A and B are shown apart, each in its own frame.
Chain A
Amino acid sequence: MAVLNVNPTRMELTNLKRKLVTARRGHKLLKDKRDELMRQFLALVKENKELRIKVENALKSANLSMSLAGSNMSDEAIAVALMMPSQKTGVELGTKKIMSVDVPEFKPAFRTERDDGIFSYGYAFTSSDLDRAVNELNSILPDMLRLAEIEKSCQLLSAEIEKTRRRANALEHVMIPNYTDTIKYITMKLDEIDRSTTTRLMKVKDMMLDNAHNYV
């Protein structure tokens, strides 16, 4: 039983009762928030996992093609072939809110400089493995950005869930018990004072009657 360090007065009691009501309401709200966050998070994390497996597999085969290209061509030749990319890829950054958590939205944005496809080189001096690698990377690109978006959202949501969970737990296991205990303590103390006053009055009355009429 943890009793807060307060004076056992009626005013303190009213204050504490009011605080307890607020704490209970806060706890309920936080619990609801946590549950909803958790629901959203689990859906997101499932997608995250599937997407990650998909992207990793695609990257694996792209890397394989790249290694093959590297074995056919010299490093310099590859560097030269890829030196001037025909497009620049970036993201349009937006934000949306999931349960008042800001999460980013990445929309792929392309800036094409030459309109001749994704290949930035002539085919004469490069191996077909390089073409395949570039092609594979290009097709996985939207998924990669989507993965970045989802994975970031998951990280941010999990941080928020952790915070909310801690707050809810602190209210449930520390604040609310402390308040109820203290309220109980003050009530008992006040009752005790009441009783002692009553008995004192009775005793005084007895003594006064005793003095006045000399009853025994």
Chain B
Amino acid sequence: MHKVAVIGDRVSVCGFKSVGFETFFITDPDEAASLLRRLASDGFAVIFITEKLAAELGDEIDRYKDAVTPAVILIPGVTGNTGNGLSSVLRSIERAVGSQLAE
């Protein structure tokens, strides 16, 4: 069984502990980057990360884009939905089509 991780600030993330995901309370981008690397090599299959934290991580997340695992997925945190998650979907369309589709 591969584990599932959730990374983000305390309030956004602590609920996931109750459903059985492994939770990591982190708000510092540098710490999050090294944690992400550790989790990726540790056999985590899915890593949910709050949009707010992901925005500060930048390229670190793109490193896992072309690997089968881990799947790094953005989720909205308590601070609200920044729309980054949805725009990452649009980015993959853009990459496939080669140009921005009118939305």
Interface size on A, residues (CB 8 A): 61
Interface secondary structure of A, over-half rule: helix
Chain B nearest Cβ from A65, distance in angstroms: 8
Stretch at the interface among B34-42, B52-60, B91-99: B91-99
Residues of B within 8 A of A147 (CB): 73
* Mask: chain B, 15-46; 1 = CB below 8 Å from A; 0 = not: 11111110000000000000000000000011
Task: Please report whether the interface of chain B is mostly helix, strand, loop or mixed according to DSSP.
Answer: mixed
User: Is the pair A85, B20 in contact by a Cβ cutoff of 8 Å?
Assistant: yes
Among residues of B, the one whose C-beta sits closest to the C-beta of A112 is B20
- Contact (Cβ within 8 A) A162 B4: no
Are B68 and A52 touching (Cβ within 8 A)?
Answer: no
Asked if A144 is at the interface of the complex by the 8 Å CB criterion, the answer is: yes
- In the complex formed, the residue of B with least CB distance to A166 is B98
| Among B68, B69, B81, residue most surrounded by chain A Cβ atoms (within 10 Å) | B68
Distance to closest chain B CB from A193 (angstroms): 44
Interface residues of B in 59-87 (CB under 8 A from A): 65-66, 68-69, 71, 73, 75-78, 81, 85-86
Chain B residues whose CB sits within 8 angstroms of the CB of A110 once the complex forms:
20
Q: Is the CB of B45 within 8 A of A91?
A: yes
Bound complex: CA of A158 vs CA of B93, how far in Å? Answer: 7
Any B CB within 8 A of the CB of A183: no
A-B contact pairs, 6 of them (CB 8 A): A59-B76, A60-B76, A110-B20, A149-B71, A152-B71, A158-B93
